[in-house]
Amino acid sequence: EDGYELWLRYRKVDKPDLLAEYRRTFTHLVAPPAADGDVLRSAATEVLQGLSGLTGRTVTQQSKVQRDGAVIIGTPATSALVAQYVDRSELRALGPDGYVVLSRRIAGHATTVVASEGKRGVLYGIFHLLRLLQTQRDVRRLDIHERPANALRLVDHWDNLDRSVERGYAGESVFDWDALPTTGQRMTDYARTLASVGISGTVVNNVNANPVFLSTDMLQKLTGLAAVLRTWGLTLHLSANFAAPISLGGLATADPFDEGVQAWWRDKAREIYQLIPDFGGFLVKADSEGQPGPVSYGRTHADGANLLARAVKPYGGIVMWRGFIHDFDPVTWASKSYLTFQPLDGKFDPNVIVQVKNGPIDFQVREPVHPLFGAMPQTRLMAELQITQEYTGQSTHLCYLVPEWKQVYDFDTHAARPEPTVAGIVEGAAGVMNFGSDRNWTRHPLNAANTHGYARLVWNPALAAEEVAEEWVRMTFGSDDRVVRTLTSMLLGSWETYEDYTSPLGSGFLIGIDHFTPSPESNAPWNRADAEGAGFDRTVATGVGFTAHYHPPLSQQYESLASCPDELLMFIHHVPYSHRLHSGKTMIQHIYDTHFDGLDAVHGLRASWRSLRSRVDRRRYDTTLERLDRQVEQATLWRDSIVGYYFDKGRVLDESRSWVQLKQAGDQPLLGGWPNLFAMTAGNASPRQAE
Ligand code: BDP
C-alpha cells in the first residue's frame, strides 16, 4: 500500500462473524436514477464500491427491494421509498446536509435506509454507513440522526499558480492548473476524500492571492475543477486580491467607495457565476503582509468586505474576510487583529464571515484562544485552523492537532451569549490544507490524521479526540487491536510531546525562519529571556495590555501571575526562573524536564511504531519509520538548543540530572548546545574534571 487511498480503503472485513453479518445486511442497493455528475450518482457509486470491498462480494444496484439486505438511499423528492417510509419533518429539521441512517422493515424485508432532505446529505449519510463497517461496528439496529454543527466546513489551500505551496510540505500543489479544465482521477479522489468527512467547500488558491486567478482565462479553466467538486457536493471558492480592479481591470484605484471599482466587482461576480453557478464566494486577506486592502484608501476592513459581499450577494455568495493581520512588531502583534476588528463589530454585511485564526499570533504550538471570538457578537465568525503543520513539525514530526483544536472549540469566552464557547459562536471553519502532489497526499503517512480529524471536528466539535483518532486509525490501518491501541495513543499524546521538546509554557517563536528548526537566539524579542527570567509581559499592569481583550473572569485570571494557567505563562508574563508553577516545579526546572521528557517521548513514539512492524504493510511502515527517525534527530536538536539557550540566559543548574546521566543516555546524542548541557547539570564538576 502506498497510502494513496487514505481512509477510504474498503478492505474486506477480517472478522468472520462480522463479515457474515455485513454480507447479510447489505446485499443490494436501491437508489434513484441519477445522471453522471449528480451527487446522488456519486453516492450510489461510492456505496457500491465500499460495500463490495468491505464484504468481499459484489453488491449491485437494483430497481426495487428484492430480498433482505437492501440499502435504500435518496431524498424524499427522488425516492418514493424514502418519501413513504421516512418522516419528512425530521429530514427537514436535519437540513440538506443532515441525514438519517435507519434499519427498517420495508416490503417485508430487512433494509437500511439512508435519507436526507438534500442530495449532499445522502452522500454524507452513505459515508457514515461505510464508516460503520470500516470501524467494525454493529449495524443491525441503526437509528442514526445527524446534522452538522457547522454550515461552513472548508479547507483552504495556500497554492500558487506555479504550483508552489505556501507552507506546503508534501510536494507541489495538488492542483494541476496547466491541465485544467481537464481533470484526472486524482481530482476525483481529492473531492471524494473531502466529501467523505463532510467538507463542503474548498478555497483553491493562496490567501496571498495572485489576481490572475480572477482572470477570464483562469476562470474558464476552473470550470473543470468546479465540475468535479460539484459531483461530490463541494463548492469552489477563490482567494481574491483586493487590488484586482487595478491589475486586471486597468482601473486607477481599488477604493471600495469608488463607483468604478464597485462596478468592476459586480461585473466580475456576474462573469464568475455565469461560468460557475454554484461558486461559493471569496476569501480575502487584506492589509496584511503587503497584501492590498481598503485601509490603504482610508477605509475600514468592513468597507472592503462589504464591497465584495455586495457583488456576490445576488448569487448567494459569501465573503470570508480574514481577521488575521500579520504584524512584524512583536510588541503589537498579539493585539493587532483584536484592535482592528473589534470596533467593526456590527458593520459587516450579512454575507460576510470574519475568519479568525485560533490564536492571536500565528498557529504556534500553544497560544491562548483568540480574544476576537468573544468580542464580536454582531458579526458572523468562523475559525481558521492550520492542518498543514507550518510550526508543528511540517511533514517530519508527528503532531496530531485534534486535542488542540478541541481545546479551542471548548474554550469558554465568557461572552454574554447563550453559548459562549468557541464551538457555540462560530458557524464554520477553514482548515489550511496539507495535501500536495505527493502520491500519499501528505508525505508523512500519519499526518493525514489531521486532515481527517479537522473535518470530523468541524462537522461535530463535540466528538472526543480519542474517538476521532481511533476512527482514523481503524479506517487507515485496519482493526488489529494492537495497531488500534498503539497508534491511537501515539496520535493523542503527540501534540503535547511536540510542545514539550519545542516551546515551553506558551513561549512561541523559538523557531527559525524555516519555521522548523530551533533558533531561540534569533527570536529574542519574542521569547524575552534574560538573566532573571523569560516570557513576554502582555499584562495590563506592566506589559502590552493584551489581557484586557478578554471578558472577566478570564482577563483577571490571565493578568495575575498566580492564576494564569501554566501552559500560557510565558505568553502572558515575564516570569522569574525561580517562579513555582502550579505543578510545584520552578519554571526553569519545568523547561529542562519537559525537554528531556519530550525527547524521551519521541523515542517512545518510534519504539511504539517499531512494535507494529509485523502488523502494518511494509511500505507504509517504512515510510513512517523513516519520518520517526528524523523526528528523533530533530527533537534532539530542539531539546539541546532550548535547554542550552535557557541555561545560557539564566545560568540555573538542572536539579534533576547529572552530566554523567546525560552521557549514559547513549542513544540520545547531544547535538546542539552540548557544552551548555554539560554545564547546566546539577552539582557536577565540569565534564573535563570528572573524566
Ligand atoms: C503565516 C504564514 C504565512 C501566511 C500568513 C497568513 O507564515 O505564510 O501567509 O500566516 O496566514 O502563518 O496570512
Element (H, E) at 237: strand 235-239
Active site residue 289: yes
Predicted confidence band at 202 (pLDDT cuts at 50, 70, 90)? Answer: very high
Residue 559 has pLDDT above 90, yes or no: yes
pLDDT higher than threshold 80 for residue 10 = yes
Determine whether 579 is exposed, middle or buried from the number of CB atoms within 10 Å of its CB (0-12, 13-18, 19+).
middle
Q: Is the dihedral of CA 178, 317, 385, 356 positive or negative?
A: positive
Residues pairing with 28 in the sheet: 60, 70
Task: Indicate the pairing of strand 533-534 with strand 575-576.
Answer: antiparallel
What is the pLDDT, as a whole number, of residue 660? 64
**Residue 536 one-letter amino acid:** F
Tell me, what amino acid is at 500?
A: D
The pLDDT of residue 658 is above 90 = no
Atom number of ligand 1 nearest to Cα 432: 11
Over pLDDT 70: what percentage of the chain?
A: 96
Residue 19 has pLDDT above 50, yes or no: yes
Is 390 a catalytic site residue? yes
Residue owning the nearest CA to atom 9 of ligand 1: 208
Ligand 1 proximity of 324 Cβ (cutoff 6 Å): yes
> DSSP class of residue 342?
G
Average of pLDDT values for 387-400?
98
Mean per-residue pLDDT of the chain: 95
Q: What is the pLDDT of residue 664?
A: 58
In the chain the domains, ranked by start, together with CATH numbers, are 16-146 (3.30.379.10), 152-463 (3.20.20.80), 504-536+574-690 (3.90.1330.10)
The type of residue at 51 is L
Would you say residue 665 has pLDDT above 60?
A: no
**Would you call 137 helix, strand, or coil by DSSP?**
coil
Rg of the chain on CA atoms, in Å: 27
Q: Does 612 have pLDDT greater than 90? A: yes
Between 680 and 381, residue with greater pLDDT: 381
Query: What is the predicted ipTM?
Result: 0.98
What is the whole-number distance in angstroms between the Cα of residue 334 and the centre of ligand 1?
Answer: 14
Closest CA to 278 of 316, 240, 319, 311: 316
Q: Report how far residue 73's alpha carbon sits from residue 82's, in angstroms, rounded to the nearest whole number.
A: 7
What single string gives the DSSP state of each residue in 493-562? HHHHHHHHHS-GGG----B-TTSSSB-GGGGHHHH---SSEES----TTTS--GGGGSPTTHHHHHHSTT
User: pLDDT digit string (tens) for 37-58?
Assistant: 999 999 999 999 999 999 999 9
> Which atom belonging to ligand 1 lies closest to the Cα atom of 167?
8
Measured CA to CA in angstroms, residue 66 lies from 21, 72, 76 at distances of 18, 11, 21
pLDDT at 553: 98
Is the CB–ligand 1 distance for residue 366 below 6 Å? no
Give CA–CA dist 497/499, Å, rounded: 5
Q: What is the pLDDT of residue 189?
A: 98
Residue carrying C-alpha cell 537566539 = 521
Is the predicted pLDDT of residue 673 greater than 60, yes or no? no
CA-nearest of 399, 468, 389, 393 to 432 is 389
Q: Is 467 labeled as catalytic in the residue annotation?
A: no
Please indicate whether residue 285, judged by its CB atom, sits closer than 6 Å to ligand 1: yes
pLDDT class for 675, splitting at 50, 70, 90?
A: low
Q: What separation in Å is there between the alpha carbon of 358 and the centre of ligand 1? A: 13
CA atoms within 13 A on the CB side of 365: 29
pLDDT score of 683: 55
The least confident of 222-236, 285-299, 624-638, 652-666 is 652-666
46, 362, 367, 567: the active-site residue:
362
ω into 181 cis (within 30 of 0): yes
Residue 691 has pLDDT above 60, yes or no: no
Q: Average pLDDT in the 153-182 region?
A: 98
Is 390 close to ligand 1, i.e. is its CB under 6 Å away?
yes
pLDDT tens-digit series, residues 311-334:
999 999 999 999 999 878 889 999
Q: What DSSP string runs through 382-409?
A: EEEEE-S-TTTTTTTS----HHHHHHHH
In the predicted model, is pLDDT for residue 563 greater than 70?
A: yes
| Residue 472 CA, ligand 1 centroid: distance in Å | 28
Ligand 1 centroid to residue 14 C-alpha, Å: 44
Pairing of strands 28-30, 533-534: unpaired
pLDDT score recorded for residue 406: 98
Q: Nearest 5 degrees, angle CA 464-CA 467-CA 472? A: 130
Q: Is the CB of 600 under 6 A from ligand 1?
A: no
Q: Print the SS3 string covering 149-199.
A: CCCEEEEECCECCCCCECCCCCCCCCCCHHHCCCCCHHHHHHHHHHHHCCC
Q: What is the pLDDT of residue 172?
A: 98
Confidence of residue 686 (pLDDT cuts 50, 70, 90): very low
Ligand 1 centre to CA of 523 (Å) is: 18
Cα→Cα distances 365→19, 51, 79, 240, 496, Å: 42, 40, 48, 29, 9
Nearest protein Cα to ligand 1, atom 10? 362
Exposed/middle/buried for 189, CB within 10 Å: 0-12, 13-18, 19+?
middle
Is it the case that residue 469 has pLDDT exceeding 80?
yes
Summarised one tens digit per residue, pLDDT across range 120-150 is 999 999 999 999 999 999 999 999 999 999 9
Q: Is 363 in the pocket of ligand 1 (CB under 6 A)?
A: yes
188 close to 228: Cβ distance less than 8 angstroms: yes
The 8-class DSSP code of residue 616 comes to S
The tens digit of pLDDT for each residue in 253-270 reads: 999 999 999 999 999 999
**pLDDT, position 690:** 36
Q: Do the Cβ atoms of 451 and 190 come closer than 8 Å?
A: no
Residue 192 carries which side chain, given as an amino acid letter?
R
